[in-house]
Amino acid sequence: MNKTGQLPFDFGHRPSLSGDDFFVAPSNKEAVVWLDKWPHWPGPFLVIYGAPGCGKTHLSHVFMATSGALKLKAAMICEAGLPNLLSLSENFILDDENADFDEEALFHIYNHLASRGGHMLITSVSPPSEWGLKLADLASRLKSSPAISIGMPDDDLIKSLLVKLFSDRQVRVENGAINYVTKRIERSFDAARQFVEIADRTALVEKKGISLPLARQVLDHMI
C-alpha cells in the first residue's frame, strides 16, 4: 500500500480496439457474426444493443477500423447539418447510450445510405422497438433492420479477458487471484479492465505480483 493508504487510480493504459482484442462468447457471438458480414448487410442499418459495459463500444471501434466509419453523437444528426455530414463518409456509427436524435434527419440518412450502398452501425441500451419513435417511416425502416442483442459476459469470458489483459501488461498473476475475481467482479468488460488497471498500479506500488490478497484488496475498493 502506498503512504496514503489509497489504491492508485491512474488509468493511463488503453486497450487495443482491434478485433483480435475482443473475445467471442455466446453472449456476443451473433453481434460479431453480423459485423463480419459487412458490407453484405441486408440494409443500411445494423443495431447492436445491450447493457452498458457489455462490449458495444468496443465492437463499434472494430467496425470503425474495418469500414472507416465516422462516429457520430446524437446531437450531430440534425436536418441543418445533413449535407455536410453525408459528404464526409458513406459509413457511420451512432454510439450514444442516451440518444435523442432528430428522427427526420435519421430517416434521411437511412435513405441516403440505401441509395449509396453505405451503412450505419447503431448501438443502444435497448432495441429500436423501445425507443418510442414517432416517425412511422423511420420506425418501419428500423423494424426491418437487424437488431442484435449482446448479453453480459459469463464467467468463462470474464476469466479469459482478465488473463488476456494481465498478459498484455506482462504482469504476473496467481491463478487463485484470477479465479477469485472471476466469481465476484461485476459482469462487464469495463469492470474487468478497471480491475486490471488498478491491480497493475497497486502491484507496481507494492513491488509484487498479483496475489489473492492483493486481488481481494483491489476488488473490495471497487465494490
pLDDT per residue over 50-103, tens digit each? 988 788 888 898 899 999 999 998 888 888 888 898 999 999 999 865 567 899
Q: Which pLDDT score is estimated for 2?
A: 42
Smallest CA-to-CA distance from 143 within 107, 100, 94 is with 107
Beta bridge partners of 72: 94
pLDDT per residue over 121-177, tens digit each? 999 999 999 999 999 999 999 999 999 999 888 898 899 889 988 988 888 898 899
The predicted model scores a pTM of: 0.76
Report the share of the chain in percent with pLDDT over 70: 88
CA-to-CA distance for 141 and 60, rounded, in angstroms? 21
Which domains does the chain possess?
Answer: 26-149 (3.40.50.300), 155-222 (1.10.8)
For residue 207, pLDDT beyond 90:
no
Report the share of the chain in percent with pLDDT over 90: 55
Q: Which three cell numbers stand for residue 191?
A: 469492470
Phi, psi angle pair for 173, to nearest 5°: -140, 135
Phi, psi angle pair for 158, to nearest 5°: -60, -45
- If one compares 30 and 154, the residue with the highest pLDDT of the two is 30
